[in-house]
Amino acid sequence: MAADEHRIACPVCDGTIDVDVEDIDEGDTISCDECGADLRVVGTDPLELESAEDEEDEEESDDDYLDEEEEESDEDWR
């Protein structure tokens, strides 16, 4: 393993991922070689990953909630 590489466990499958810390920044997305999950870099010091799918699910839930609020306010206006 090179000096700039860091090993971290996949938060989805616990598989080991070798990450070159010089080539990633917070907010980047990488994939797990073992399970194929898309992972978002949420921290670089220390290196921390989370499932990008979880983040997408949360954003969709937020969007649905906002749409419902807009529909309710439109009905109140009428």
Number of domains in the chain: 1
Strand order in the sheet with 38-44: 29-31, 38-44, 47-51
CATH of the domain at 45: 2.20.28.160
> 15, 30 in Cβ contact below 8 A?
no
Look up the domain containing 13 and give its range.
Answer: 5-77
Instruction: Yes or no: say if 32 and 12 are a contact pair by the CB < 8 Å rule.
Output: yes
Q: Write the pLDDT tens digit of every residue in 41-77.
A: 999 889 999 999 865 555 555 556 566 555 555 555 5
pLDDT, tens only, 10-29: 999 999 999 998 899 999 99
What's this model's pTM, rounded to 2 decimal places?
0.63
